[in-house]
C-alpha cells in the first residue's frame, strides 16, 4: 500500500521531511552557539516547496559523470536567514530565536502527525468489514 | 455531518411505497412518538423528494463535507489554517465517514437478510 499516491498523505509526508530537516538545522545552530563567525542557518519557507521549487542539481548526461555527494532530498536553505544579533566574535546564533523555531517545528510536527493519523483512521474505518 | 431526521426519512420512504402499504405506514408513523417531531418536515419531504432523492442528497452532502475537510487539512499542513478550523472540519469528516459506513453496513445486512429468505 503506497500512501504517497493519495494527495494529502504525500503532502503530509513532504511536510514531515521538511520539519525534520529544519529541526536538524536548529540543532546544528544551537551546537554552534559559541563558534566564532558562525551564522545561524534556516530553511526557506514551506511555500517554496509547495510551489514545486526544488534545489538545483547537476544533470548527469553521461554515465561517466560523478554522482553528486549532496543529498537530493534536501530542501532549500534560505540564502540570508533573518539574524537577530551578532556577537563581537562574529557568531550570529540567537538561542531565543532557535527556541522559537524549535517550538514552531514541534507544534507543526504534532499537528501534521495527528492529521495523518486521523486520515489513516478514516480510511481504515471505510474498508473495515461490516 | 449528515443531516438526518427520522420523521423525514420515514415520510420519504412512505411516499415511495404503494398506496395501500403507504397508508399502513402512515398510521404506524402517527402512532410512534417520533411523528410529532417530524410531522411538519414529513409533509414537506414527501412533497419535495422520494427516498432515493433523499439518499442522493445526503450522500452528496457527505462528499462535500469530506472535500471541505481535506481542503482545510491541506491548508493546515502548509501552516495556513487555524487550529479550531482544522479540529472542527476533521471531526465533522470523521463523524460523516462513521455514519456513512454505519448506513452502508445496515444496507448490506438488510440485503443479506432478504437473500436468506427461503422462497
Q: Write down the residue that cell numbers 495556513 correspond to.
A: B80
Q: How many CB pairs under 8 A join A and B?
A: 45
Domain boundaries, chain A: 3-129
pTM flag (> 0.90): no
CA distance B63 to B58: 9
Selection from B15, B22, B67 nearest residue B42 by Cα: B15
Residue A101 buriedness (CB in 10 A; 0-12 / 13-18 / 19+): buried
Tell me whether 0.95 is exceeded by the ipTM: no
Tens-digit pLDDT profile for residues A33-54 = 888 888 888 888 888 777 766 6
Tens-digit pLDDT profile for residues B22-78 = 444 444 444 444 444 445 555 555 555 688 898 899 999 999 999 999 999 989 988
Given an 8 Å threshold on Cβ–Cβ distance, is B77 in contact with A11? yes
Where are the alpha helices (H) located in chain B, listed in sequence order? Answer: 6-15, 19-31, 35-48, 51-77, 83-116
Cell triple for B21? 402499504
Query: Which of B62, B68, B70, B78 is best to mutate for the A interface (most A CBs within 10 A)?
Result: B78
Amino acid at each position: 500500500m503506497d500512501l504517497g499516491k493519495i494527495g494529502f498523505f504525500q503532502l503530509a509526508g513532504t511536510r514531515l521531511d521538511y520539519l525534520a530537516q529544519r529541526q536538524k538545522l536548529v540543532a546544528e545552530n544551537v551546537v554552534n552557539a559559541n563558534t566564532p563567525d558562525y551564522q545561524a542557518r534556516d530553511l526557506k519557507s514551506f511555500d517554496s516547496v509547495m510551489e514545486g521549487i526544488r534545489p538545483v542539481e547537476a544533470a548527469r548526461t553521461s554515465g561517466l559523470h560523478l554522482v553528486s555527494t549532496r543529498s537530493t532530498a534536501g530542501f532549500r536553505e534560505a540564502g540570508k536567514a533573518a539574524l537577530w544579533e551578532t556577537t563581537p566574535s562574529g557568531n550570529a546564533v540567537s538561542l531565543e530565536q532557535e527556541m522559537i523555531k524549535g517550538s514552531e517545528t514541534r507544534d507543526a510536527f504534532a499537528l501534521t502527525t495527528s492529521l495523518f493519523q486521523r486520515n489513516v483512521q478514516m480510511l481504515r474505518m471505510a474498508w473495515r468489514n461490516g | 455531518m449528515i443531516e438526518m431526521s427520522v420523521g423525514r426519512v420515514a415520510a420519504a420512504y412512505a411516499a415511495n411505497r404503494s398506496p395501500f402499504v403507504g397508508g399502513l405506514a402512515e398510521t404506524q408513523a402517527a402512532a410512534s412518538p417520533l411523528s410529532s417531531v417530524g410531522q411538519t418536515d414529513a409533509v414537506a419531504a414527501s412533497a419535495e423528494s422520494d427516498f432515493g432523492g433523499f439518499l442522493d442528497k445526503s450522500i452528496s452532502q457527505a462528499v462535500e463535507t469530506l472535500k471541505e475537510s481535506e481542503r482545510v487539512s491541506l491548508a493546515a499542513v502548509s501552516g495556513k489554517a487555524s487550529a479550531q478550523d482544522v479540529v472542527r472540519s476533521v471531526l465533522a469528516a470523521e463523524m460523516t465517514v462513521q455514519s456513512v459506513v454505519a448506513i452502508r453496513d445496515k444496507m448490506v445486512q438488510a440485503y443479506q437478510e432478504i437473500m436468506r429468505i427461503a422462497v
